Structure 1
Amino acid sequence: MAKRTVTVIGSGRAAVSPDVVRLDLRVGHDAGDVAAALSGASEGITKVGAVVRDHDVADADIRTLDAGVNQRWDNTGTAIGFTAQQRLAVTVRRLESVGEILEAAASAVGNALLVDQVRLDVSDRSEGLRRARDAAFADARDKAEQYAALSGSQLGAVLGVAEAGAVAPVAYKAMAASRDLAGGMPVEGGDLDLGATVTVTWELR
């Protein structure tokens, strides 16, 4: 006779204090040929990198995400040139400098700067995720005990545990021309929620 079991899904969250901001910065450049477009985008992203380093961001916290070039067309379908773009991921560990960095980058490259993402995060999620998993397992056990009682049983041994994946902090996304960043972008830390979901199977006795 097969074992009687109960399988439930539990979820849990843990509040953490953000200590970094993840920036996704992009520079675009239009030109009549591919080489000039790439050269212009490269020059622009180099200026942005210099600005970031001037604000005490370490080289280890600056990473090129990607680069590309596409042909441009007018509204009649005629090819009129090329647009090259390069993206830079920046981790800012001094939250109060985010606005200063964005303002300085906008001043350096003008409307060639686009801000694809400004995201509060924590540099080390391990403790927060541990607390979220604890809460998720406790939630699963609470549900399982209720189902066991409803079926006139008691929980036995845990037969299986599977994590469905951690929930990352919600990102704040922005797409803005550099002129809109002239006043900077103050960032308030507040709290973030990290989450975890777990599926647990218990034997019923």
Structure 2
Amino acid sequence: MIKLADALAASALAIGMMSTLGGTAQAASAGPESARVVVDETRNQIAVVGQGAISAAPDIMRLSVGVEVRRATAGEAFKAARSASATLTRALVRAGVSADDLTTNELSLGPEYESYPKVTGYRGAQGVDAIVRDLSKADKIIDAAAAVGNEVRLNGITFEVSNPGRQLEAARAAAFKDAGVKAKQYAALAGRQLGEVLEISEEVTGGPTPVHLTGALVEDKASVSPGRQTLGVNVRVVYRLR
């Protein structure tokens, strides 16, 4: 077996603009894995890793928010947490979140100790994930949640592309073309000709972008921005050599 590693890493070619899919598809920057090529003379095969990526604007936001209370008894803490959570839910719905886009992600109740086993009180908490589908309302919804009261805990937001299928199709096409360009060049360098594809496997990269909210952000009413996300595909393609 002859291994040609890190030779001609700069051979990755950019793929043209694919505006019909809502972003720019291109061959990803060459790295150690993208330049790894294996020519197997005994089996007449060459394996190449191609990379492709597309930049897309997120269209939904996930807000992780909840309430936390402390009371003298477990019953009081549980009741107060449930009441505060109901108030929070109503505020989110009034601000523009659909009730169908609210999901409970935490419900907890437990003692707090001054020094074990002496109990000083009980902590009750309930959390919710809210999907915001209209990003123009993002600031309004965050402000509405924070205004519920001191019991509210803003845990962070995540921006996502709700339907990444079309973007991934473009990234996949770019990665496959990138692999073909590399394989053809390496085959020629090895004095061979490139044959048919024998095997394809892929790995999807990129995804949601988490953002942690701070007290200063809420107090200043700073605008939250989704920015852009890069969805990428690494594809390993095995070709026959002739």
- Is the shorter-chain TM-score for this pair beyond 0.5, marking a shared fold? yes
Q: 1:23 Cα deviation (Å)?
A: 0.8
Which has the larger share of helix?
1
Which of these residues, 196, 199, 203, is aligned with residue 233 of structure 2? 196
| CA RMSD of superposed structures (Å) | 2.3
Write out aligned runs for 1:146-185 (5 A): 146-174=185-213, 176-177=214-215, 181-185=218-222
Aligned partner of residue 139 in structure 1, secondary structure: helix
Correspondence for 1:4 among 44, 49, 58? 44
Structure 1 pair 37–145 and aligned structure 2 pair: CA distance change class (3 A): farther
Question: Is 1:35 matched up with 2:72?
Answer: no
**Counterpart for residue 16 of structure 1:** 56
Residue 129 of structure 2, aligned match among 89, 106, 119: 89
Deviations 1:74-101 (A, max 9, x none): 3x44432222222211111221222211
Residue 65 (structure 1) aligned to one of 89, 93, 105: 105
**Letter aligned with residue 204 of structure 1:** L
Normalising by structure 2, what TM-score? Answer: 0.73
Does the aligned pair in 1 maintain the 2:95–2:144 contact within 8 Å? no
Letter in 2 for 1:98: A
Q: Which residue does 1:113 correspond to in 2?
A: 152
- Select 1:186's aligned residue among 204, 219, 223: 223
Larger RCO (CA under 8 A, 6+ residues apart):
1
Gaps of 5+ in 1: none
- How many percent of aligned residue pairs carry the same amino acid? 27
| CA contact 1:10–1:137 (8 Å) conserved in 2 | yes
Q: 1:35 to 1:8 in 2, by over 3 A?
A: farther
Larger radius of gyration: 2
The 8 Å contact of residues 169 and 193 in structure 1, kept in 2 or not, is answered as no
